[in-house]
Homo-oligomer: A and B are copies of this chain.
């Protein structure tokens, strides 16, 4: 095995990402279609509900409030209600949320470095799949 890359086995290999384990839960937390976008929208500071809705063009109220509730539950954002009329609610990243932003940064970093490779591999694979079927090799008896 080449040693160009760090030995990941210290993290437990496949076991490190079993459904019941923590990295899986974290991955699921970041995985929602909108979670990353909401966190990204909060990087500059607190935002109000409809402010977020405008920033995340295309999100529905349901998904926005659902995503915000999940992030609040996970300690990623705080929800501050001002008992004014009309009501005002601010959402803001917690320190933990900003730390999670660092994780997103790592993903974006990796993506900047390797996404093109992935897409190139994808194109190559799809082209190969479009080619005519290769003739069957003569069977070699054991």
Contact = CB atoms under 8 A, between A and B. Distances in A.
Interface in A1-48: 1-2, 4-9, 11-19, 22-27, 29-31, 33, 36-38, 40-41, 43-45
**This chain's copy number in the assembly:** 2
B85 A141 contact: yes
10 contacts: A8-B104, A14-B37, A14-B38, A14-B56, A15-B40, A23-B108, A26-B111, A29-B118, A96-B118, A103-B110
B142 A11 contact: no
Given A8-B101, A101-B8, A36 B24 contact: yes
Ranked nearest first, the 9 interchain pairs of A and B with the lowest CB-CB distance are: A75-B121, A14-B40, A17-B36, A22-B115, A14-B41, A5-B98, A23-B111, A73-B125, A13-B40
Interface residues of A, number: 77
Interface string A64-96: 000000001111100000011100000000011
Which of A14, A124, A126, A139: most chain B CB closer than 10 A? A14
